Amino acid sequence: MLTKDVKSLESVVIRFAGDSGDGMQLMGDRFTSTAALVGNDLVTFPDFPAEIRAPAGSLAGVSAFQIQFSSKDIFTPGDQVDVLVVMNPAALKVHLADLRPGGMIIANDSSFTTKNLRMAGWESNPLEDDTVAQFRLYNIEISRLIAKAVEDIGLPAKTVARTKNMFALGLLYWMYGRPIEPTAKWLKEKFKSRPELVEANTRALKAGYNFGDITEIFATSYQVDPAPLEPGTYRNITGNYALGLGLLTASQKGDIPLFMAGYPITPASDILHQLSYYKNFDVKSFQAEDEIAGIGAAVGAAFAGNLAVTASSGPGIALKGEAIGLAVITELPLIILSIQRAGPSTGMPTKVEQADLFQAMYGRNSESPLPVLAPATPGECFYIAYEACRIALKYMTPVFVLSDSFLASGAEPWQIPNLEELTPIDFEYEKSGNGPFQPYARDQKTLARAWAIPGTPELEHRIGGLEKENITGNVSYDADNHDLMVRLREQKVAGMVREISPTEIYGDTTGDVLVLGWGSTFGAIRTAVESLRSEKLAVSHAHIRWMNPLPPDLGEILLKYQKILIPEMNLGQLSKLVRAEYLVDAEGLNIVRGRPFRESHITEKIREFL
């Protein structure tokens, strides 16, 4: 019997790539879940094609899923790929450049036909010439092997072909010492009404696992030990799912009904789908006929006393602008989730960007200030959504949450919080019987106005987009009153600095370079700074979650470093805000490639500084 070596690794980066119908996202999701069960730390990066029905085998139709899993604490899905699993020539064409020298290619040889090679633009078969000579190639006839494994079931050839992802998954489970039982159990549940599909996929999974075990082409398997995570109960979570849980938790903690109104748009649609399952928690979800109807319904729900939410991406937020202004002037609590993607216009709808900061800050007519919060990781989306709800209810204001498609669909282990430790959500509706109702009388500390539910006796008041008189809420065209109301709304947002915790500094509180970040750049920045600090370089990292107002201690922090570097997936929006607000010579590191930052992007720039 062949004895195979087992090699211990600290971390591994795998990318699954194939046609959009090859089940790459499902394959990645199953590998991610199994890595989590083993106890690895992990970060994922699903990469979807933008074309809904791109021709099979074309470059535009390639779908990919990348995961880094590790025995230590990690923050990114990895820069270079260690193992590239490709189901067709197009997948190899699109992703080969990201494979590290000496990396591994697992290719489905059965799909490298003359037609598919031509569709992908290969002049010759790259598996047979010198194209991949610098890599370790494992060329496997996956389609033939699965056809043999399920030949007695009598399934159509197209159905059998769809199980090739399970073969490749089984092979990788063997290669990295992962159990196949959780996936086999999952298959039984997923296809419980189609036992023939359960059998076919399970056979393909086992065939891949056994192929790795018995074939002589793999002399080594690998082991990645569990990561030393803090004690607690963990689950895998994506950013969009975490946002939904944060909203639900705020609703339950505040004992207030949750109303979600939206219109389908990539990459925000998942939030509406998720909340539609929570009817038993007094959650109402409404899919409107368009973005304007969605925000209109949400504003109406806020007026009626609900914790109101709407979600979209840049193009949809643009359409919602006028009604967001209505929520500003009526001073109603409303959560606006903006899941950023590459633009302008439709742009690259499945690719990542964080270029809507100015839209959230200024994308409405006139002076329309709003608090803007931005999570840094998928798990942090839960806490930011919860905090946004707390702020909206406490200050009677709309609140923007700026996530992006990388956070939305990326996953990480998330420690389930103790809900008793969350900051309480305290608010109250105005009650009748306290004398003449003054709808714009304000709390002296927060400047929040009263929240009167329609139909409450003695609380009749005007509502709408015309300017209101201070205190009384009557329509007013008085110049002095308008100036006062504009300034009061601005002061209310500015006063939220009292809610912002002191800015955390990773590294020294003074030094040569401070890397200042926001949003999903967190992982790449932290990994780069960790690496450079291991070389004894004076580099530190600060990441802000409050974009408006900015943290009150930020100006003082910036003055303690020789240089400020601000990496962003835009052309320098936070950089401009920082330079204008604090008059410091902050330099931007800006990319708009539809892909997240790599650690190497930031490391190279910092080395230039030093």
The CATH number of residue 157's host domain is 3.40.920.10
Predicted confidence at residue 432, as pLDDT, reads 79
| Residues 376 and 403 both lie in one domain | yes
Q: Is the residue at 554 inside a domain?
A: yes
CATH number at residue 547: 3.40.50.920
Q: In degrees rounded to 5, what are phi and psi of residue 149?
A: -70, -25
Residues in the chain: 610
Q: Of the residues 173, 190, 223, which one is the last residue of a structural domain?
A: 223
Distance CA 380, CA 387 (A): 11
Is 42 within 8 Å of 69 (Cβ atoms)? yes
According to DSSP, residue 468 is labeled: B
163 and 26: one domain? yes
Q: Structural domain tally of the chain? A: 3
- 394 contacts: CB under 8 Å, gap ≥ 6: 425, 426, 427, 446, 448
CA distance 401 to 79: 27
Q: Are residues 133 and 239 in the same domain?
A: no
Considering the domain architecture, whether residues 116 and 241 belong to the same structural domain is answered as no
Q: How far is CA 522 from CA 369, 391, 497, in A?
A: 26, 24, 22
Specify if 101 maps to a domain.
Answer: yes
Given 421, 445, 464, which residue is the final one in a domain? 421
Q: What angle do CA 426, 428, 432 make, to 5 degrees?
A: 165
Asked if 28 contacts 67 with a C-beta cutoff of 8 angstroms, the reply is yes
For residues 215 and 83, membership in a common domain is answered with yes
Is residue 567 included in any domain, yes or no?
A: yes
CA 105/CA 92 separation, integer angstroms: 9
CA distance from start to end of the chain: 56
Range of the domain at 283: 235-421
268 touches 291 (CB < 8 A): no
| 183 shares its domain with 302 | no
- Tell whether 206 and 326 lie within a shared domain: no
Helix (H) or strand (E) segment spanning residue 544: strand 539-544
Whether the Cβ atoms of residue 12 and residue 222 lie closer than 8 Å to each other: yes
Decide which of 421, 448, 475 is a domain's last residue.
421
Q: Is 341 domain-assigned? A: yes
Say how far apart CA 258 and CA 272 lie, in whole Å.
12
Same domain, 316 and 396: yes
Distance, in Å, from the CA atom of 346 to the CA atom of 341, rounded to the nearest integer, reads 9
- How many beta carbons lie within 10 A of that of residue 33, not counting itself? 17
List pLDDT tens digits, range 544-595: 999 999 999 999 999 999 999 999 999 999 999 999 999 999 999 999 999 9
Based on the fold, state whether residues 195 and 247 are members of the same structural domain.
Answer: no
Residue 438 lies in a domain: no
- Residue 489 falls inside a structural domain: no
Q: Please tell me whether residues 312 and 164 are part of one structural domain.
A: no
Same domain, residue pair 540 and 604 = yes
Q: Dump pLDDT digits (tens) for 221-251.
A: 999 999 998 999 999 999 999 999 999 999 9
> How far is residue 256's CA from residue 233's CA, in Å, rounded to a whole number?
27
Are 248 and 216 within one domain? no
Q: How many CA atoms lie within 13 A of 245 on its CB side?
A: 18
- Which CATH number belongs to the domain containing residue 361 in this structure? 3.40.50.970
Residues of the chain with pLDDT under 70: 1-3, 433
Whether 250 is covered by a domain: the verdict is yes
Question: Phi then psi for 194, rounded to 5 degrees?
Answer: -130, 80
**What is the model's pTM?**
0.95
